[in-house]
Amino acid sequence: MKIRFCRKLSGAWKLIFDFSLASFQMICCVKAGIVQSHRPLVLPLLSLACALLMAACSSVPTGQSAQAERAVLYEAKFAAFEKSDRWALKGRLAVNDGEEGGSGHLDWRKSGQTSSMNFRGALGRGAWQLTLDEKGAVLKWADGTVDHADTVGELIEQRLGWAIPVDALAWWVRGLAAPGDWDLRQLDRYGNLEMLSQLGWEIEYGRYRDIDGLSMPVKLTACRHSYTVKLAIQDWDLEAKPGRDE
């Protein structure tokens, strides 16, 4: 008799399984007349074995069912962000393309269609400010140089040399998959992303912190081929307003 859904039991539950299986085997032997036993013990033993098996197996949900339950919590968080498109974060950003890299302080603010990223540190040409709105993307350098492009992705790749999907990163930093298809999504028991595979990138989440009742990432790493992007978030503001840069 194969009980496939109990194969992964271990520890105390394995002992319960072994006891239950042995009980069934003994009862079968008694029924067949191979061994003699007091018949009054047969039914109580059978009932006990069934109860133990049901308790053990019901307490170990399959991976798919567990992820389905956690997805409900994840979708609630996604819905909460759909109601508010204002947020800001401060932290440290590190980027490495396999040959060169650097890190520094990042201040990222988003309000509606407007997004601004202020960076200070040893990465590329040093300090810069990236602004995105309905008119396009603007990149301002510390030396006063200004670059323009229709999309933020185009500007980032041409001027900073990063093949990074900034639009998707705006979702990933909040612990959410970007709209569209994804290849892998693994959630923890609280409905938080643990791992995400999307757009050819592998994103792994380290820790979360409660911010205004929402579980927000404070550490994540995104990798694609030789590219690695690491972000350690020190501060979240989920009610950020334009013009509050410090």
Query: Using CA atoms, how far apart are residues 226 and 21, in angstroms rounded to an integer?
Result: 52
Nearest to 100 by CA among 227, 235, 242, 243: 227
pLDDT tens string, the chain, 246 residues long: the values are 333 333 333 444 454 445 555 555 555 555 555 445 444 544 454 455 455 545 545 444 557 788 888 999 999 888 887 777 789 999 999 988 888 778 999 999 999 889 999 999 866 667 889 899 888 999 998 888 999 988 888 887 887 777 788 889 999 999 999 999 999 999 999 999 999 999 999 999 999 999 988 899 999 999 999 889 999 999 999 886 554 444
pLDDT digits (tens, 9 = 90+) for 149-200: 888 888 878 877 777 888 899 999 999 999 999 999 999 999 999 999 999 9
**Looking at residue 102, what is its pLDDT?**
83
- Report the 10 Å Cβ neighbour count for 177: 20
The three-state secondary structure class of 116 is strand
Q: Look up residue 227 and give its amino acid.
A: Y
The three-state secondary structure class of 210 is strand
What SS3 string covers 201-239? EEEEECCEEEECCEEEECEEEEEECCEEEEEEEEEEECC
CA 189 from chain centre, in angstroms, equals 11
Would you tell me the crossing angle of helices 12-32 and 42-58 to the nearest 10 degrees? 150
Domain boundaries, the chain: 7-60, 65-237
Nearest to 93 by CA among 209, 173, 177, 179: 173
Is 65-237 assigned to CATH 2.50.20.10? Answer: yes
Give the global pTM.
0.70
117-138 residues labelled b (16+ CB within 10 A) or e (exposed): bbbebebbeebbbbbbeeeebb
Nearest to 88 by CA among 62, 117, 64: 117
Non-local CB neighbours of 207 within 8 Å, separated by 6+ positions: 217, 218, 219
Q: Which two tokens stand for residue 242?
A: 């334009």
**Looking at residue 186, what is its pLDDT?**
96
Non-local CB neighbours of 220 within 8 Å, separated by 6+ positions: 172, 173, 203, 204, 205, 206, 230, 231
Q: Characterise 136 by phi-psi region: left (phi > 0), alpha (psi -120 to 50), beta (else).
A: left
The three-state secondary structure class of 152 is helix
